[in-house]
Chains A and B, each alone.
Chain A
C-alpha cells in the first residue's frame, strides 16, 4: 500500500509508543529490583544490590524453580503428545463431531482458570482421592497439561494444514512403511511447529498461578506461587522483584528459540 509520508510517520510513532508501553513497565520491574525500599517506592531514591544477594541465597526460590521445571516439563511432554494426536486426527480425517473436538481443545484455555482449577480440585478430592490419586505434583501436572494441549494443537494443526501430503505419499512410494514414513518424513515436516508449540506450552505452564493454586498439594510451590505468596510478604517482596527481573531477562531465551524456529519455516 502506498501511504503518504505523514501517515507513515504517524504509524511509526504509534508503533514506537506501543513498544514503549510494553517495555517501560518491565524495565520498571528490573529497576525496582535495585530499589532500596521494600515497597518499591517511586521514583527510586536509593539503589542497592542487596535484594539480588538475598535472592541468590534464597533456597525457597530454587526449590520452587525446580518444582516449576518439573511440572512444566512433564506437562509439556503430555501436551505435546495429546496435542499432536488431536491435531493429526482433526487435520487428516473427516468425521462426525470434529468441530466439537476442536471446541473441546480450546475450552480449557478459554474458560477462566479458576473454573478449571476448582473443577479439577473437586474431581481429585471427590473422585480420584478415594482411588488413591490425591492432590500431588501429579494433579498440578494434570491441570497444566489440560490447558497446554491447545498450544501444541494450534501450532501442529496449522503446520499439518500447510504440509504437503505428497511428501508422505512419496515416501511410501519409495517403499517406506507407515511407521518409517512418519518418523522420516512427517515428523521432520512439523518438527519446528511441534517444538514451538512445546515452548509455548512450557511457558504457559511455567507462568500459571490460578490452576496451580487449586491443584497443588501441601508443600508444593511452583515459582509463580512462590512469587504470589511472597509478594504479600513484606520482607520478601524486593526479592520477588529480583526474581521477576531474572524472569524477564530469561524470557529472551525461549523467544529467541521460537523465533529461530519460525524463521526456519519461512525458508
Chain B
C-alpha cells in the first residue's frame, strides 16, 4: 500500500489580502443576493411599476369623471356614466367587436403566411437563401411605419398598383375598407410573427420530421401533426404582437380603412373632447390585451417573445 505524503508543505502562494473598492463592493454584493436583486429591480420597477402602471391607474380613475358638456373640461366627480355609455351604445360595442375581429384576422393571416414561409426557410432553402430571407423579412421593420401605411394607401387606391396588377386577371383590388385594413396591418406586423415561427421551425430537430415520415406520414401530414403543434408557442408569441398592435392601431385605419372605425379611432376622437369617455373606452383594449397576455403566459409563450 502506498505511503502517503510526509514532507512539510512548500510555502503556499497565499492569496494576498486585497481591499480595493471593487473588492469591498464585490464581497458585499457576493454575500447579499437579496440586495443584488433589489438593486436590479429598483429602477425598472420604479419606472414601469410606478410611473407606467401609475399612469394607467390615473387614466382609469379619469374614466369615472365627467366632462363639462360645453367647455369639454374634465370635472372630477364620480360617475359611471361613461362605462354605462360604452356598454349600452351599440356603436361602441360594434366598434370593439369589429376591432377584435380585425386583430384576430390579422393574426390568422400572419400565421397562415408564416407557416409555409418558415417551412421553406428552415427546412428547404439553402443556407445562403435562408440568410437572405431572414434579412428580407426583418428589413421592413426598420422602414418606417408611416411609410409603409402610406405605400399601402397608394397600392389600394382605385386604379392604383393593385388594381393594375389584378386587371389582367379580370379582378380588382378591394379598395379602402376592412379588407385593405387587415392586409395592411398584416403587412405591418408580419415580421413579428414570421421571425419567431421561423426560429422555432429551425429548432425542431430534423430527426422529428424524419421519424414522422419513417412511420409513414406524407409531408403535409407531418406538417400538421408534428410541426404545427410544436410551433404553437411561437405562434402565440407572435400573435401577442400581431394581435395587440392591430388592436391599438388607428392610423392605418384612417389611411386605408375607408370608413372602418376601430377602437383607436374612437379614443382618438374623444381624447380631447371627452377624456373620461376616451379613458373608459381605453379600458377595453387594456382588458382584452391583459387577458390575452394572461392566456399566452399560461401557454409559456412569453418566454419566447
Contact = CB atoms under 8 A, between A and B. Distances in A.
A2 B223 CA distance: 12
B83 interface: no
Contacts of B240: 106, 110
B60 to A, nearest CB: 9
B25 A110 contact: no
A179 B144 contact: no
Contacts of B154: 25, 28-29, 32, 40, 42
Given A29-B150, A115-B267, A1 B113 contact: no
Interface in A208-266: 208-210, 214, 224, 227-228, 231, 240, 244, 247-248, 251-252, 254-255, 258-259
Given A1-B219, A114-B268, A11 B155 contact: no
B185 interface: no
Contacts of B119: 11
Given A4-B219, A111-B286, A118-B282, A209 B41 contact: no
Contacts of B187: 21-22, 25
A3 B219 contact: yes
A107 B305 CA distance: 13
Interface stretch (A46-54, A57-65, A121-129, A187-195): A121-129
A115 B135 contact: no
A85 B42 CA distance: 9
Interface residues of A, number: 88
A151 to B, nearest CB: 10
Contacts of A45: none
A26 B247 contact: no
Interface string B148-175: 1011101101011100100000000000
A133 to B, nearest CB: 11
Contacts of B222: 1
B125 A118 contact: no
A21 B140 CA distance: 11
Interface string B119-141: 11101110000010111111111
Contacts of A18: 113, 117, 137
Given A119-B56, A207-B144, A231 B150 contact: yes
A148 to B, nearest CB: 11
Interface of A: 1-4, 7-8, 11-12, 14-15, 18-19, 21-26, 28-29, 32, 40, 42-43, 81-83, 85-86, 88-89, 93, 95, 99, 101-116, 118-120, 122-123, 126-127, 142, 145-146, 149-150, 154, 175, 177-180, 203, 207-210, 214, 224, 227-228, 231, 240, 244, 247-248, 251-252, 254-255, 258-259
